[in-house]
Structure 1
């Protein structure tokens, strides 16, 4: 009987009020307290339009709240914000930050709009190879100095604004004014973590990342227990990688400046988990060959080639630097039309088969490459996928017990 009464009570209990979107709540409050009034009919239409065109989503990278591309750019918003003074605008941004902080996902003090990564440098035809986020629209908060030299100093790094997040249990950090962060890579980073760990006690298994960035895939290999050699040309990304490695309690060494002239035997002698070279990856093949001639970094079991729209310029280097490993995996990132994925896979297979034949004087040779898998990471554009082609190469010249 008591159960029936309880059920009867539950059937007639009031539903919980629907939670208001924090950005919507902030805008409603701002409209009521700060935005100047207009004629009644015009004001109602304006306010309704402001709410309907405002962003509803946000991403938190503590202490930054990042809004989606195009936020607050509708005709109504552009008109209203243009007529508001700085204090009124800041009141809006602070109200949004306050409401987002109430969601319990983290305290945020800075607000920006993610306008994507431009393909070219501002006002130039040159490619934006460093992937600097010059389109970032900063709305509120001190994001650090707006200008630094091509080669930033330690004081520049200290004065910059840094944010962080955790994905797959791994911490990453970056300066959003100077460095991109690709949230969509989380699935691919988790997939890398699914590869086999080196046997316990084996410290001779290496990974190489030829486009290290802030450590997207570098950290996955480090978490698997490998030592990692990596290359990156953006000093801000390298600093983010260094800070992130330390946050995860991995030893790290940055090779730059005059140290780049030192022999590889000296550079690798410290035993650090992660060694990052602040230079073009065009030097990677020669450096690794030097290390291998000294009996170091022979067993390179993974090479990540994570550059879009294609990482093809480094594929032959990836093939060469894994020549000694008994088994090596190359992860080749490429943008491919959805209808062309299988053709691209066949073309990659043919390319590596040709290199294998050439290396053995046309006799077929002992190294056998095979495109084992194609991972469709995420859509890059309509009808275009960011793919990763996994090439497994067996038959290297060192034994499984080799160094």
Structure 2
């Protein structure tokens, strides 16, 4: 006889009835903790009979905060609501206004009872929770269905790592499960081991945004006065490893002067986009999956394909090479050589490893060392391991001893603005043929046309300052992706024609 399926108990979440004057604060608190139920959203509260005559309107804000339930032994005896609701205000940092906000509950729709059935990761989580020792599971004071509802349904696999989106597991605040317990307790390592095996990976981490300033985790990333310094390497210093060894922890030595042993013991992960391999160490180097739009565009950009088809071919320059985001697209499009400037030694190592995976040859060239370290004719990617502020000197030395195909493209891929590199970029293009500068910027949605005109004027100004002139125009503005609410990552394709010296009167 087929075993009768037992329908799980409904999962309930918290809903807040909030005075209009507090809506923005409550909404922000929920969004910062990823606890706003965007599907249900925010709506007017019409329950009160005195709505029309009320001195202030109220809004109904749905959250993803789960009302915790005792495990199956006492599944029908929910935690007292007043305990859960009190915890809600503590969780959100709203204790000072809790007397003005009413907390209610709402049932999760039946189709959301068992999200794990449609999601391999959540299915692995459910099975792994079920394999926990009964006493450990019971200590969490929540049913498996409630626990599962707190895990993210989205994830990315970069072999051999499973990367989860930023999530503090905070909606389980009403139970005894906390981020510290879940991520760092030895009791939970068998849980993550089972999850990793089920989805076919060996490492698991929680993602985080790349801070523009470095949060001080040791002396290497703070100023003398203790304040954060600029995160010039764009290192993923807030990434949280959960399971598996990711390599030596970031320190003064491993960040700025890693050894071959550091490289060899670190975890390296891979991704393939447009048939191009890329590899990086997630503890040290960022990877932006959203840049695929721009990578794809470069592969098929008419200005690239026509430059490649010219008799001498062409050279491309990437002034912020990273692990090869755009470098590899240029090579895939058959650009003869790509010159790269990159500060981060971990990104340079990623460039080497990624190029090798794709069958391309790299060579690192130190300044003032061209004669003692001649370039191989077969080198595809030439790397200068320092700041691009020295790019003009590097290029001049290189052109004295190497016959490079004309430089037709210069990529300036740094955010929030690459404008510090434009002075050198305009002077690197081939004087006879001219070429294109691809200038990356973060721009307000309503400011794109204004910024487009400003970028052209700034490029003209850099030419003029160098005693040069040439036609400058913006051929195209590519909207790559949303960077923040109301802000887009855009690329200005700037054409500069034949460059001449200004006549001296």
Range into which the TM-score falls when normalised by the shorter chain = 0.7 to 0.9
Give RMSD over aligned pairs: 2.8
Cα 1:295–1:204 change in 2 (3 A) is farther
The count of corresponding residues between Structure 1 and Structure 2 is: 366
Q: Is the 8 A contact 1:288 1:297 kept in 2?
A: no
Q: Which residue number corresponds to residue 251 of structure 1?
A: 361
Once residues 368 and 83 of structure 1 are traced to their aligned partners in structure 2, the CA distance between those partners, rounded to angstroms, is: 62
Q: Which residue number corresponds to residue 109 of structure 1?
A: 202
- The correspondence of residues 80-229 of structure 1 with structure 2, limited to 5 A, is 80-81=177-178, 82=180, 86-101=185-200, 108-123=201-216, 124=222, 125-147=228-250, 149=253, 150-195=256-301, 196-197=304-305, 198-199=307-308, 202=311, 204-226=313-335, 227-229=337-339
3-state SS of the aligned residue for 2:414?
A: coil
3-state SS of the aligned residue for 1:310?
A: coil
Residue 263 of structure 1: how far off its partner (Å): 3.2
Q: Is the 8 A contact 2:116 2:126 kept in 1?
A: no
Q: Which residue number corresponds to residue 32 of structure 1?
A: 130
Once residues 249 and 353 of structure 2 are traced to their aligned partners in structure 1, the CA distance between those partners, rounded to angstroms, is: 21
Once residues 322 and 211 of structure 1 are traced to their aligned partners in structure 2, the CA distance between those partners, rounded to angstroms, is: 16
Residue 239 of structure 1: how far off its partner (Å): 0.2
Residue 384 of structure 1: how far off its partner (Å): 0.4
Larger relative contact order (CA 8 Å, sep ≥ 6): 1
Once residues 371 and 395 of structure 2 are traced to their aligned partners in structure 1, the CA distance between those partners, rounded to angstroms, is: 8
Q: Is the 8 A contact 1:50 1:77 kept in 2?
A: no
Match of 1:307 among 404, 414, 417: 414
1:104-127 Cα distance to aligned partner (Å, 9 max, x none): xxxx11100101212222323210
- Bigger shift: residues 138-147 or 128-137: 138-147
Once residues 406 and 392 of structure 2 are traced to their aligned partners in structure 1, the CA distance between those partners, rounded to angstroms, is: 14
1:55 aligns with 2:152: yes
1:52-84 Cα distance to aligned partner (Å, 9 max, x none): 221111111100010001153434498325557
Cα 1:278–1:72 change in 2 (3 A) is same
**Superposition misfits of 4+ residues, deviation over 6 angstroms:** none
Cα 1:188–1:35 change in 2 (3 A) is farther
Residue 39 of structure 1: how far off its partner (Å): 11
Cα 1:387–1:370 change in 2 (3 A) is same
Once residues 147 and 19 of structure 1 are traced to their aligned partners in structure 2, the CA distance between those partners, rounded to angstroms, is: 38
Cα 1:271–1:77 change in 2 (3 A) is farther
Once residues 378 and 484 of structure 2 are traced to their aligned partners in structure 1, the CA distance between those partners, rounded to angstroms, is: 42
3-state SS of the aligned residue for 1:134?
A: coil
Cα 1:296–1:58 change in 2 (3 A) is same
CA radius of gyration, larger in:
2
Q: Is the 8 A contact 1:204 1:297 kept in 2?
A: no
Q: Which residue number corresponds to residue 296 of structure 1?
A: 403
- Bigger shift: residues 372-381 or 388-397: 388-397
Residue 182 of structure 1: how far off its partner (Å): 0.7
Q: Unmatched 5+ residue regions in structure 2?
A: 1-114, 217-221, 223-227, 501-505
3-state SS of the aligned residue for 1:236?
A: helix
3-state SS of the aligned residue for 2:367?
A: helix
Q: Is the 8 A contact 1:337 1:384 kept in 2?
A: yes
Residue 20 of structure 1: how far off its partner (Å): 3.1
Q: Which residue number corresponds to residue 373 of structure 1?
A: 476
- Bigger shift: residues 218-227 or 269-278: 269-278
Residue 288 of structure 1: how far off its partner (Å): 1.4
Residue 357 of structure 1: how far off its partner (Å): 5.3
Cα 1:87–1:260 change in 2 (3 A) is same
Residue 339 of structure 1: how far off its partner (Å): 0.7
Q: Which residue number corresponds to residue 66 of structure 1?
A: 163
- The correspondence of residues 228-247 of structure 1 with structure 2, limited to 5 A, is 228-247=338-357
